Amino acid sequence: MTEFMAEFMGTMILVLLGDGVCANVCLKGTKGNNSGWIVITMGWGLAVFAGVLISKDFSGAHLNPAVTLGLAVAGKFLWAKVAVFIAAQLLGGATGALLVWLTYKDHFDISTDQGSILAVFATGPAIRKPISNVISEAIGTFVLVFAVLYMAGPTVTSGAAEIKVGLGSLGALPVALIVTSIGLSLGGTTGYAINPARDLSPRLVHALVPIKNKGKSDWGYAWIPVVGPILGALLAALIYSAGSVA
């Protein structure tokens, strides 16, 4: 499997299972309806486990533009590959969200709450304050990327393009546990996107597919789950790099 396909498939599985647990909890008439936050956080943690397990041996299992950027800034990933990885992640996120819609289509058809329908695809704040929301996303992503940097393999050099560096370097379980911890401890403010491919691409799918009673896609908020994770990843990379130099 190529690196592009690994990132595409890993992110697709991540979003399929992650948005899938949101659908199971949020949509009307499902077996898991109203089962709560613990189910969602566990479902997302296991979704990360599955996505990383599938792609770790082929691409390093970044599955997240913020992780890819953080690794590149820290000198652990080649800048020449950043655009390809992010493209694969965004396309994988969109495909995973589309599969969730197909899986739960009958339940989408009978659901009437617009907020619950959107929550399947995209995050939203408990209290809408843009600066606070960006800070929350940045802090959560900082924890993820900072941990990943210490799990990653050797620093990439210009002559080592074949080195795969990322989430897969210590296996899937540690990353899944970190994401679960972030969700349980820090996720209550914004829903912890901590991954632009997990929010932006599925939000676009929400806007495009025909869902009864779906309402608007809240594009006014959509920049926050992109900017916040990027800022958190950059901060993690800078602090990691400063510590490494020291």
125 φψ region: left (φ > 0), alpha (ψ -120 to 50), beta (else):
beta
Distances (CA, A) of 158 to 4, 76, 79, 165: 20, 11, 10, 14
Express as a percent the part of the chain with pLDDT over 70: 91
Over residues 157-185, the pLDDT tens digits come to 555 444 455 544 447 899 999 999 999 99
Beta-carbon contacts of 191 under 8 Å, excluding residues fewer than 6 positions away, are 119, 123, 124, 125
Chain segment 31-86, per-residue pLDDT in tens: 999 999 999 999 999 999 999 999 999 999 999 999 999 999 999 999 999 999 99
- pLDDT level of residue 243 (50, 70, 90 thresholds): confident
With a cut of 80, say whether residue 104 has pLDDT above it. yes
Q: Quick one: pLDDT band at residue 186, thresholds 50, 70, 90?
A: very high
Virtual CA dihedral for 198, 203, 209, 213, nearest 10 degrees? Answer: 120
Q: Note down the domain range covering 128.
A: 3-245
The Cα-based distances of 15 to 51, 59, 82, 150 in angstroms read 9, 17, 20, 25
Distance CA 239, CA 227 (A): 18
Residue 245 is predicted with a pLDDT of 55
Q: Is the pLDDT of residue 244 over 80?
A: no
Count Cβ atoms below 10 Å from residue 220 Cβ, excluding itself.
10
| pLDDT tens per residue across span 120-157 | 999 999 999 999 999 999 999 999 999 999 887 655 65
Q: In total, how many domains does the chain have?
A: 1
Which CATH number covers residue 108? 1.20.1080.10
What pLDDT is stored for residue 230 in this prediction? 98
Residue type, 177: L
**Mean pLDDT of all residues in the chain?**
93
Cα separation, 222 vs 197, in Å, equals 12
Q: Is the dihedral of CA 165, 171, 174, 180 positive or negative?
A: positive
- Angle, in degrees to the nearest 10, between helices 196-208 and 82-103: 50
